[in-house]
Amino acid sequence: MNLDDFSDLIERPDGGVRRDAEERRERFIVPPGALGRLDELGEWLSTAQQAAPVRTVEQPRVVLFAGDHGVAGLDVSGRAASTAHELVRATLDGSTPLAVLARRFSVPVRIVDAGLDCDPELLPEAVVRTRVRRGSGRIDVEDALTAEEAEAAVRLGIAVADEEADSGTDLVVLGDLSVGGTTAAATLIAALCGTDASVVTGRGGAGIDDLAWMRKCAAIRDALRRARPVLGDQLELLAAVGGADLAAMTGFLLQCAVRRLPVVLDGVVGAAAALVGQRAAFRAPDWWLAGQLSGEPAQAKALDRMALNPLLDHGVIVGEGCGALLALPFVQAAAALAAELPEREPEPESAEDGADDEKDDATDDATD
């Protein structure tokens, strides 16, 4: 598998549809610009759907990729290593912020186990049946995945994207349930942006103290030494310093772009997968939307590199897809306004204009 092949499969949204959407917007009873970013969002959705007027968002879905990262064993996370399955269980039980919001917004949630480090019996078979491997390697000293596992994880993401597109999902809210995932994500972003570990190291959704931050920074620095030799091959990069969840999310994002299924990104893990995807197919970010700014410095750097402007900046750092899900009502509002706002009635022709037209006609006759 070569991720660069996606470059030939992904097309830009039709510029003609965007122009039609812009022209229609200019005819609304509300003046252009009065709705702020809602106007921009409506046009983005219209081009993503290849439809003017835009269709309202009726079947959104939250898709969460889950995995444990061996680097969490260095105490670089606010959660204990190999406990991502607890996040999965809490989400299934409806007791996480994401689960509460999804219930309130009536949005179904799908959890995909790409690399959890737990006994399969602890979770429903529908979740664990997709697992590529049990946990990912400690990226500061070893590869996260073998080459075969990295390819299997990407193919998993592709398959999930196809299933969502085929089932009628019209917008995906993408998130992750991971422990140690922000460390791997920051490493990928630092490698692809050519920056130092200290520039991209944040405190994660669970929050860490200064000593843990320094351990995290050191782990990213060591992982970067392993990442730089394989920067020319995105699949090798994911195998070296990514993880099963990150590789699956990359495949998912790329295939969503192929299938023209718009995606709302959440935090730094999704941003890292998106940045790897952009490196493989430069048109792919046209199909993605940044839901929020999470406060992670690596996420801000990745979004800037992809020219994605986050919708929200509310200080939500919990991760798990929460920030992106909070942006969903904003996106749905933009779609509804673009689809349902009435257009202005055309101005009637004045008597003076009619007289001028008759004069012009008479002049033309005299000339003939």
Which residues form the catalytic set? 320
Residue 188 DSSP one-character state: H
Alpha helices in the chain (DSSP H): 6-9, 15-26, 37-49, 84-92, 97-105, 125-128, 147-167, 181-193, 197-200, 210-227, 234-241, 244-258, 268-280, 297-306, 322-340, 351-367
Decide: residue 223, CB within 10 A, 0-12 exposed, 13-18 middle, 19+ buried: buried
Q: What residue has token string 């290849």? A: 50
The most distant pair of C-alpha atoms in the chain lies apart, rounded to whole Å, by 94
What does residue 137 show for φ and ψ, rounded to 5 degrees?
A: -65, 165
- Residue whose C-alpha is closest to residue 13's, from 291, 249, 284: 284
Cα dist from 228 to 23, 118, 223, 321, whole Å: 47, 31, 9, 29
> 238 CB contacts (<8 Å, ≥6 apart)?
144, 145, 150, 153, 154, 188, 246, 247, 250, 276
- Residue whose C-alpha is closest to residue 214's, from 68, 74, 317: 74
Pair type for strands 171-179 and 60-68: parallel
What does residue 309 show for φ and ψ, rounded to 5 degrees?
A: -100, 115
d(CA 88, CA 73): 19
